Structure 1
Amino acid sequence: MKMRVIEKAPERRPGTPLLPAIAAVTVALLCVVVIAGFGGYRINLTPSEPLGLWRIVKLDRAAGIGDLVFICPPQTAATQEARSRGYLRSGLCRGGVAPLIKTIIAVAGQRVAIGIGVSVDGYPVAHSALQHRDGEGRPMTPFGGGIVPAGSVFLHSAFGSSYDSRYFGPVPASGVLGLAQQVLTYGS
C-alpha cells in the first residue's frame, strides 16, 4: 500500500509584510478607477439600467428624444431630498452626486402629463406608472406636469422604481454629459 504525502501549505515567513501587499493592490485598483473616470467610464450600481461598466460618449449634436444619456441633475429641493433619502449616489456632479443614466422622452415645448403614468403630447409612455411610496414606505411626490421649458429635457427609465423626471420634473439639457454606452454590463 502506498502512502499519500499531504503537502502542507507554505507558511508565511515571519516578517513578510502582508499589509503592504494589500495596500499596493488597493492603490492599484483606485488608480484604475480614477483613470477610467477621467477616460469617460463610469460604473453603474443602480438598477435603473444594467449594472456594470458604461462609457460617456460625447455628443456632437443636441441631445434628443430617445437618447440614453448621462446627465448631472441640477441642485434643486427635489434632488437634495433625493440625496438625503439615498436615491442618488455620491459622485462628481455639482452637489456631490453621481450622473444619472436616463432616456430623454420629451424636449422643450412638449407637454408632459402625469396621472397613473406619464404621457407626452397625449401619447402614453410605456413603463411609466408612478410609485406612491418608496422602498421604505415614504411618500413619493410626482411632478405636476406641464410644458417642458426651453433648454430642458424630461427623463425616464423603464425601471419601475427609478427616480426620474416623473418626480423631479424637467432638467436643464446643459447637464447632459453625453450618450450612455454599455461596455461591460449585466442584468436588466
Structure 2
Amino acid sequence: MQSMSVTIAKRLPPARLLWWGAWAIIGVLVLNAVVGLWMQHDHLVFNDSTCESVGFYKLLGSPYPLHDGELVEVEIPGPAHHAAVAEGLKYHWFPAGQPWIKNIAAVTGQTVKLARSGVRVDGHMLPNSRVDRWTPGHHHRIIHYPFGMYHLKRGQVWLYAPGNYAFDSSYYGPIPESHILQRAAPWWTIPGSQFWLGKGD
C-alpha cells in the first residue's frame, strides 16, 4: 500500500498535489463553519471532557432560580482566585475561555462536607466524588480545596461532575452563582464515556 501511494505521488505533478491540498483545507474549513453555524442555531455545545458524558448538550436558557441537581453551562472561575484553575490552565487540562458543563450540587443555605473520601451535601454522599491526589499516570499532583465543612453563603454554588478525574468544586471550591450561564441537557452523548479514564490511587 505504501509503495502504491508513493508511485501515485510521483506520477502527480507538484502543482496538482498543491491544488488537491488547498481544496482539502478549504473543504475542512467549510465543514467546520457549517457545523459551527448548525450548533449555534440549535444552541448546542460539545463536551469533550470526561467530567460529564462526552457529546452534545443543548443549552436551555436562563438557569434561574438555581436548584441543586440541575445540569448547567458554567463560566470558568478566575485563575487569580482559584489555585486549582490556574494549575489546570498551566498544564492545559482544559482550554481557556471554554465554558464547562457541570451539575449544581449545592446552592445557598446547603451544607457541603469535603473529605478525601468524597463530597457530602446535607449528609448525602455524591457518587464517585472521591478527591484525587494525582492526574492520570501520576504526572502531576492535584491541588484540591481545603477539606472541611462549608455552609454555602448567599450567591454561592458548589459544582459537581460524576466522571473519573472530574474537575469540580472539590478542587476550586464554591463559585459565584453569576458564573452559571445557562441550563443544559444532554442532546446526544456517549453513555459511560465519563468513566473512560480509569481511577488511580
What is the TM-score of this pair, normalised by structure 1? 0.80
1:30, distance to aligned residue in structure 2 (A)? 2.5
1:47 to 50, 57, 66: 50
Distance 2:143 2:26 in 1: 47
Query: Which residue in 2 is equivalent to 1:5?
Result: none
* Identity over aligned pairs, percent: 24
What's 2:82 paired with? 77
Deviation at residue 97 of structure 1 after TM alignment: 2.6
| One of 172, 180, 183 as aligned partner of 2:184 | 180
2: distance between equivalents of 1:72 and 1:136? Answer: 28
The verdict on how the C-alpha distance between 1:129 and 1:23 changes in structure 2, with shifts beyond 3 A counting, is: same
Q: C-alpha separation between the residues in 2 aligned to 1:141 and 1:109?
A: 26
What are the within-5 Å matches in structure 2 for residues 117-136 of structure 1? 117-136=118-137
The equivalent residue for 1:56 is: 59
Q: Residues 104-139 of structure 1: CA distance to partner in whole angstroms, max 9, x if unpaired?
A: 110012221111211112222222111122224222
Aligned-pair CA distance for 1:66: 0.7
Question: What's the offset of the Cα at 1:68?
Answer: 0.8
Per the TM alignment, residue 146 of structure 1 is displaced from its structure 2 partner at its CA by: 1.3
The number of equivalent residue pairs is 173
Structure 1 pair 87–23 and aligned structure 2 pair: CA distance change class (3 A): closer
Cα RMSD of the aligned pairs, angstroms, is 2.4
Q: Deviations over 1:16-52 (max 9, x none)?
A: 5312321221221231243245433211111112212
Instruction: Provide the C-alpha distance between the structure 1 equivalents of 2:150 and 2:134, rounded to a whole number of angstroms.
Output: 23
Q: Does 1:163 align with 2:164?
A: no
CA apart distance, 1:181: 2.0
Q: Does 1:102 align with 2:105?
A: no
TM-score (norm 2): 0.75
Q: Secondary structure at the match of 1:73?
A: coil
Distance 2:32 2:125 in 1: 44
Q: Decide which of 68, 71, 77 is 1:68's aligned counterpart.
A: 71
Inter-CA distance 59–186: structure 2 relative to 1 (3 Å threshold): same
Cross-structure match for 2:141: 139
| 1:135-166 residue CA offsets vs partner (Å, 9 max, x unmatched) | 24222233224122211210111113101001
Consecutive aligned runs of 4 or more in structure 1 exceeding 4 Å deviation: 11-16
Runs of 5+ consecutive residues of structure 1 not aligned to the other structure: 1-8, 91-95
Change (3 A) 1:182 1:107: same
Which residue type is aligned with residue 101 of structure 1?
I
The one-letter amino acid paired with 2:113 is A
1:60 CA drift (Å): 5.9
Contact 1:73 1:171 in 2 (8 A): no
